[in-house]
Chain A
């Protein structure tokens, strides 16, 4: 059990601002990873990250629709109530590598999706607002579906040979 203070969000508007930031940041980061994988000719991994970016963008669109007509609080990047140094679904970027395999990329994606799901679960568990509970549970369920889907993909993958760089970084022999 974590001893960190619980994430408490008690208004729908504040919750939706968090959800929007989480999904947009995730979409941006997956797109960024897909772009740089394409540049480094790791096409299979680029395609995976592009697909995940698409899911995050779709979620962001759905959250955006929920906010229509609402007055939303304007939060600075450091006002968000994340329990980690970044938005929950956009962490462990530094684990990426141009030589990563699809299996390794899947691990990053799974880690992020679990963190996203857990964020929504925590919000639902700690808020006093019934409407926030309802929306947060719906979102946790959708993220949970992504987690299950990624796990299924993972089990269907064959063991891969690590990618090789014919002009490797200048390391001692």
Chain B
């Protein structure tokens, strides 16, 4: 008997999000479930892995396997999972602090390792869960935090440029205020054979109410995107104001996947470790 196709809402769990009303992450959750429904993914063959932060709560709200890991280590945990279970669709979700600061090193090496993983960073340029401190993507003049009352004074991290330099083969940027377009980006990212990085501008209405203006600032890329040309991609990213949305770069690289090890008995492993 054919299995009826699942709808987006079938991929949502019964747990209600505790995000603030108006949070952009709701749209990312909705887009991810729409993408999963469009691709017809089998729930039991999907794992959503996260670190720590508001956005990292996402696995709890998806009705698939999930792992809410430790701060900044989502990509490390996801890489291990994908190495052991290449048959799974592995999606990693997190925020800008988790991904670019605490987990910055893992981000670099996940890009160059190029495992078949989709990494969604919900970027709100702030540490929301700990009540509003500057993150790596916070602009240098943002002074609405007691921790940085005169702004950080430090140029902000450029996620797309870093991903490109570190070797990512798929780089895209979306905006939570474009809920009809977001699922398409995520479908393309999940279908991409390799490490797909999607930065989502996802405003924090509580600690960054100024981000409500993003809906007027977001725009399409003026150049032809996506490009397969790394040099052209670098030029596009450097010329960009950080508010253009779409797939920027998509090129094929060899996917890293270790050969499956022979299965062994637990008792043999214990002997090996002398337990």
Contact = CB atoms under 8 A, between A and B. Distances in A.
Interface of A: 28, 32-33, 35-37, 39-40, 42, 76-78, 80, 82, 85-87, 90, 93-98, 100, 169-173
Contacts of A82: 180
Contact of B17 (A35, A42, A76, A97): A35
Contacts of B203: 94
Nearest to B214: A94
Interface string B173-207: 00011111101100000000000000000010111
Contacts of A36: 16-21, 23
A147 B177 CA distance: 24
A154 B145 CA distance: 36
Contacts of A169: 131-132, 206-207
A39 B143 contact: no
Contact of B132 (A32, A76, A170, A173): A170
Nearest to A38: B16
Given A77-B184, A94-B24, A94-B203, A172 B149 contact: yes
A126 B3 CA distance: 39
B38 interface: yes
B34 interface: yes
14 contacts: A36-B19, A40-B21, A77-B179, A80-B180, A85-B180, A85-B181, A87-B179, A93-B177, A94-B215, A96-B205, A169-B206, A170-B131, A170-B207, A172-B149
A90 B30 CA distance: 12
Contact of B205 (A32, A76, A78, A97): A97
Given A93-B26, A94-B24, A86 B179 contact: yes
Nearest to B5: A74
Contacts of A37: 21
Q: Is the interface of B mostly helix, strand, loop or mixed?
A: loop
Which of the listed residues A87, A93, A96 has the most CB atoms from chain B within 10 Å of its own CB?
Answer: A93
Interface string B211-250: 1100100000000000000000000000000000000000
Main secondary structure of the interface of A (DSSP, over half): loop
A97 B211 CA distance: 13
A78 B26 contact: no
Contacts of A28: 9, 30
A39 B215 contact: no
A45 B29 CA distance: 23
B144 interface: yes
A147 to B, nearest CB: 22
B22 interface: yes
B144 A172 contact: yes
Contacts of A173: 146
Nearest to B203: A94
A77 B38 contact: yes
B21 A97 contact: yes
B27 interface: yes
Contact of A33 (B21, B149, B180): B21
Closest 7 CB pairs of A and B: A96-B22, A85-B178, A96-B21, A36-B21, A170-B131, A170-B132, A77-B183
Nearest to A108: B22
Nearest to B145: A170
B38 A94 contact: no
Nearest to A76: B38
Contacts of B27: 93
Contacts of B30: 28
Given A86-B178, A94-B215, 20 more contacts: A33-B21, A35-B17, A36-B21, A37-B21, A39-B16, A42-B21, A80-B180, A85-B177, A86-B180, A93-B26, A94-B212, A95-B22, A97-B22, A98-B206, A169-B131, A169-B132, A171-B145, A171-B146, A172-B145, A172-B149
